[in-house]
Amino acid sequence: MIIMGPDSLLLRLACTLIVVFYLVKKINRALTVRQFKQTHGCLPPASEPRKDPILSLDALPGILHAARHDGILNYLQAAYCRNGSTFLSSFLGSNDIFTIDPENIKTMLAVKFTDFELGEKRRAAFHPLLGNGIFSTDGAQWEHSRALLRPSFTRTQISSTEFHERHVQSLIRNIPRDGSTVDLQTLFFSMTLETSIDLLVGETVDSQHSASDDFAEFAKHISHAQRMISLILTFGVLSKLHCGSGFKKSIRVVRGFIGKYVRKAIQNRTSLDAEKQQRERYVFLHELVQDTCDEARLTDELLSILIAGRDTTAGLLSMLFYELAQRPEVWERLQTEVGTLEGQLPSFEQLKQLKYLSWVINETLRLHPIVPSNIRTATRDTVLPVGGGPDGKAPVFVSKGQNVVYTVYAMHRRQDLYGPDADEFRPERWATIRPGWAFLPFNGGPRICLGQQYALTLTSYTTVRILQTFKSISNRDPGPWKEWLGLTMASKNGIKVSLVPK
Ligand code: HEM
């Protein structure tokens, strides 16, 4: 007979109590969820088949294969084709909802904005590079960043076409006139780095300068760091196997580059404040230093906006010229429209009148959304309006802490929303369609892109000036288009074309 001492009796009692407490909590939670689902009429959405219930690694081979062959976007689109427009998928223990239902996306981003946040998965991925900048914060900190930033995008600022002309001139100078091959994507990325620095820091950098070691290093490492973030978002903890010291070095180089501007602004803080009344332009960094002298925080904000300003617009211009290089009929129609300007530099108002150009830009953003996929996390138990039940029409329950991935790339290619030719580049479709939340290149709701008007003006202006300078364009890339995914999307092989001057 074994006689237990008082210590082991206590231990047993404590263990039993913990198990009972855990079970009661679980049962209580299950009952609350059941009640919540009943009240809101929720039904489960379709679910990706799953054999591994613990680590949920079923999807790993498919995702690895897609990543190796630069086909993540098509992989995601195929998943929606298999499962419908809202479905559940588990990967590495995270049971995420995937959706391309415009009503669900509108609910998350606008109607129930406070029921969702950027979430831990995204914060963890973005934080090493972007710290607590606007792209990795929620709540009061995000509101503060946004309020600080908004004045930079007033109409006067974005409509200053002299600002754009300066930068576009240096881009055009770098396009060869002898018909030899040029990678337009590289030139667009240099130009948008220059425009962003001008806009945010108030300093002009010419393209000669941007070819210097500092700039080249910055450009290389910012792309590498973003690529690593995209891997962390896709592969979670497994990405640690791949993102090692290279990631840390890229972060150091990139933050060091931005840090130089920040330190200079902090040093000149007093004189900047005194000059403020005389300055016509709002310079983001000059305003920020009046608010805080915290170097890390300033670097976080500035770097976030620099990435937002550089990569997105360069990606859009690149994909637009990729399409133009394959479509002489679209190029010719644009030439006719731009001809109405009679060779004059376009004003902001004139750019707005170029209807066909706006269709071409919309069609580019539809087929090639520069932010192709995004994620939010529920802050409380909540409901998405559609996607549940066998017909996908019932509301769907979203548990507190659950991630919802929305894939704008796949939504923009839905045949039931855009017609049977949804995969084709056809700008003319914009004469009749008004897709509402089914077209979401700039996000929506309170976190809608702040730079939308600025980006569209710069894209239109650059396109018009290239059309005014060159009479034809031809594709010089023999291979199929391949995606490059960082925080935004670009072309892995660049955009190789040749242009013939007028
Ligand atoms: C074609 C060009 C652009 C596209 C397609 C685009 C797209 C987007 C998207 C999809 C978001 C939402 C991101 C998220 O929820 O995680 C966003 C946010 C944002 N964008 Fe853009 N963007 C473009 C250009 C720009 C430019 C040029 C700037 C600034 C110079 C800018 C500044 C911002 C900022 C500050 C936010 C954060 C808004 C917030 O969280 O409150 N964007 N953009």
pLDDT for 344-370, tens place per residue?
999 999 999 999 999 999 999 999 999
Q: Indicate which CATH number applies to the domain containing 463.
A: 1.10.630.10
Domain that holds residue 261: 65-501
> For 129-140, what is each residue's pLDDT tens digit?
999 999 999 999
179: left (phi > 0), else alpha (psi -120 to 50), else beta?
left
- pLDDT class for 159, splitting at 50, 70, 90? low
CB 58 within 8 A of CB 23: no
Residue 118 lies in a domain: yes
pLDDT at residue 398, as a whole number: 98
Report CA(141)–ligand 1 centroid distance (Å).
17
Nearest to 154 by CA among 281, 308, 312, 291: 281
- Atom 42 in ligand 1: which residue has the minimum CA distance? 451
Residue 34 lies in a domain: no
**CB-based burial, 412-442: b 16+ in 10 Å, e otherwise:** bbbeebbeeebeebbbebbeeeebebbbbbb
The per-residue pLDDT of the chain, averaged, comes to: 89
Nearest to 71 by CA among 366, 484, 367: 484
Residue 39 lies in a domain: no
What Rg value do the Cα atoms of the chain yield, rounded?
Answer: 25
Residue 37 lies in a domain: no
Nearest to 188 by CA among 100, 286, 336, 318: 318
Report CA(308)–ligand 1 centroid distance (Å).
6
CB 265 within 8 A of CB 305: no
Residue 380: how many CA atoms within 13 Å on its side-chain side? 7
- Atom 8 in ligand 1: which residue has the minimum CA distance? 442
pLDDT at residue 208, as a whole number: 47
Percent of the chain with pLDDT over 90: 60
- pLDDT class for 204, splitting at 50, 70, 90? confident
**Residues within 6 Å of ligand 1 by CB:** 134, 146, 149, 305, 308-309, 312-313, 316, 370-371, 374, 441-443, 447, 449-451, 454-455
> For 452-485, what is each residue's pLDDT tens digit?
999 999 999 999 999 999 999 999 998 889 998 8
Residue 325 lies in a domain: yes
CB 339 within 8 A of CB 467: no
Residue 437 lies in a domain: yes
Q: What letter would DSSP give residue 382? A: E
Residue 11 lies in a domain: no
Number of domains in the chain: 1
Residue 489 lies in a domain: yes
> For 5-46, what is each residue's pLDDT tens digit?
677 888 888 888 888 888 999 999 999 999 999 999 999 999
pLDDT value at 181 more than 90: yes
**CB-based burial, 329-349: b 16+ in 10 Å, e otherwise:** ebbebbeebbeebeeeebebe
- pLDDT class for 241, splitting at 50, 70, 90? low
Report CA(148)–ligand 1 centroid distance (Å).
15
